[in-house]
Chains A and B, each alone.
Chain A
């Protein structure tokens, strides 16, 4: 009898111990624990566990109070943030407005940063610490996006981090924040061990210890889950989806993401485009992509449902615009263009290409899920309406450099949006402009000055309702002009072993605080 009891007691302790620990495996390597060194999703995910921002974001990518309890524009060009009291860093140091001022001073000055966070604090021309827990930012004219921008900046402590180097963050001693977890150990490229911060100001995380592992090989990550070595994985490979959906040991957590996969075409060249010829292989006198009818025809020729259901195994939603429903700036009732090969042929004939033409469709083959297979499918669909398409997929490292130099006539690429309609408009559609800082990923070189002028005005409109109406109108305008050809919005998928529940996040970040034990049945 005594034996039974002790056996049960032991079983309980083991059960309790395992419920205290979480092992999760992510597919992208984390390269630095310095939250201001490299603006990169996997790094941001780890920063999101150790550090906090003034404005945090919830699973649906909405701004929620973080280290700031509330914020408002006290003048057209001044934002005031009222900070949370009683928050302490992991080392006991108190969080005050002065730490915010220190952080914003450090952000643009991290040595050797390959992609800094400086752009998020650049709109700020003056920082005024009103009292220990109130801070004001003056911007150059009205700037409604400041809270959104600041949801990207992780707050450090002046006392702790005054001369902290990236190496000290990576090694551990400086990875000290206010976040739900504190860092225990960092084995570069292998795993990060975390411990619950019991003094966290927000909802306490469910697990006392977290082992955050990096398994970059898709099959190995899925196998580690099935073998029970890890409890949760992200970036579930689409090839395994069908099997995992029916596996009783595993539950999937899915949500529509913010990453759109689209085709971009050459808007830059008036005359011949490098990868477009007539049916005999001679260069054309004019670039057909400059004709909106051709662009519309190419969009109508694509069977998006076939791509999302067959190639993507249901892990994407056909799209006719940048953002999914529920995000600021989503255009109501702008669905994906209907699949209409007959209409596409008619439009091509109307545009003066009754026999079509030849084009090479480029794309990466190792960047987005099934990217190489998607362009193969589209190549066939275009060929069916008379645009004889050759497909060339290449590795991302070569592809992106060439796409950036506008070397292609048509190519597939993706874009992860911030949850604000102006973000894709500014970066993908606006004319390239150093002075405005716009058009940075406008690799097709679409340019519409009228749209830019209106966008400029919208970006200075503090009234959210009026701004959203204008952003919606602008998106209708550019999709009517078929500036890009949207294909689908990816679904973000996590898989968890039975006993674990993941709250899927629209922003793709894999956070340990998104995982909870399942309620016992």
Chain B
């Protein structure tokens, strides 16, 4: 286990270095931040001053070395437009995104698992067919459209829920959270549903497929033949075995949700990291873009590692040493 972990960490370091190079080159290839940031009536003197102030007068390889040098000391650069450390900006916005991502994951499991289980146990029932048809909608409707429709129906027409923003927040561990106040919860509900829609469908389909496959297994037949109650067969023998694919996918989806909830965050004006990154791309705030992508890479590495470890807990047959 220890050797496996060490090897994984070394691999991760290599991935990080390669990504930093790719991201840096990629960001460098897009546009000219000075043209975007500077006031259009700024003269040559002012332009030259700005280029120097932002460190854009150096050749690319020097800019990269400066970046790497600072990154090794934990400094991923300063935002061009906020004049604050990029990492601090991202961390400020992270709680909002995290609570939205976990909220939507919670919803997707809460709604997806039971529906999938039902559809798997009674594959030919009318309700099951309805569930499966609904899950197609969840897959295929574009997020931004669903988001706007949710706002139009629940905020504008019915007036039940607020349309945008985070609402009141309460402090916990020195960070503001929305889910701790009633007003905040009412604000988080619509964006969380919007973000969860795709994942609910995914969980439903995975669960249903898993249940249908597992039901045919010998050990399930044996358990039934032994006279165990259908409840025990379903929730002990079947349920535990279908969880592995579900955990994998939900884990990876969580990473994707944290990293790329851009659309939902802009539609609901949710002040999270997704909104920060899209605003930063619009003004070519290179340090923030680079820092953000580096953090996302790191996060995916960690999530994958955690998923591997959860496997061993769920399924004693999986040995990490063997897998590596």
Q: Which residues of A contact B (CB under 8 A)?
A: 25, 29, 31-32, 34, 37-40, 111-116, 118-119, 122, 166-167, 170, 187-191, 213-217, 219-221, 223-224, 226-229, 366, 396-398, 400-401, 404, 415-416, 418, 423, 426-427, 434, 437-438, 440-441
Contact = CB atoms under 8 A, between A and B. Distances in A.
Interface in B12-47: 30-47
A437 B269 CA distance: 40
Interface stretch (B65-73, B99-107, B159-167): B159-167
A122 B155 CA distance: 51
B233 interface: no
B213 interface: no
9 nearest A-B pairs in the assembled complex, by CB-CB distance: A437-B43, A190-B271, A114-B37, A401-B32, A227-B155, A397-B31, A434-B44, A215-B269, A227-B163
A440 B43 contact: yes
A32 B266 CA distance: 20
A441 B41 contact: yes
Contacts of B82: 31-32, 170, 188
Nearest to B55: A112
A415 B159 CA distance: 40
B170 interface: no
B176 to A, nearest CB: 8
A228 B159 contact: yes
Contacts of A111: 53, 83
A440 B40 contact: yes
Contact of A400 (B35, B47, B84, B89): B35
B28 to A, nearest CB: 12
Contact of B31 (A32, A188, A401): A401
Contacts of B89: 188
Given A188-B271, A226-B156, 9 more contacts: A38-B81, A115-B42, A213-B165, A216-B275, A220-B164, A220-B269, A404-B32, A404-B35, A423-B41
A437 B43 CA distance: 5
B279 interface: yes
Given A115-B39, A223-B155, A397-B31, A216 B50 contact: no
Interface in B271-297: 271, 275-276, 279, 281-284
Nearest to A417: B41
A508 to B, nearest CB: 14
Nearest to B164: A224
Contacts, number: 166
8 contacts: A25-B269, A32-B83, A112-B78, A114-B80, A119-B41, A119-B42, A188-B89, A216-B275
A189 B283 CA distance: 14
B162 A114 contact: no
B275 A189 contact: yes
A40 B50 CA distance: 14
A191 B96 CA distance: 14
B178 to A, nearest CB: 11
A220 B81 contact: no
A229 B40 contact: no
A227 B159 contact: yes
B6 to A, nearest CB: 39
A418 B41 CA distance: 10
Interface in B82-133: 82-84, 89, 92-93
Contact of B53 (A114, A213, A221, A440): A114
B40 A220 contact: no
B49 interface: yes
A228 B155 CA distance: 9
A40 B47 CA distance: 15
Contacts of A114: 33-34, 37-38, 50, 53-54, 80-81
Nearest to B281: A397
Contacts of A215: 164-165, 269
Nearest to A405: B32
A115 B50 contact: yes
Given A38-B81, A217-B267, A223 B156 contact: yes
B31 to A, nearest CB: 4
Interface string B137-167: 0000000000010011001100100111110
A112 B53 contact: yes
Contacts of B198: none
Nearest to B265: A217
Contacts of A423: 41
B46 A227 contact: no
B268 interface: yes
Contacts of B164: 25, 213, 215, 220, 223-224, 229
A397 B282 contact: yes
Interface string B241-279: 000000000000000000000000011110100011001
A119 B43 contact: yes
A190 B166 contact: yes
Contacts of B32: 400-401, 404
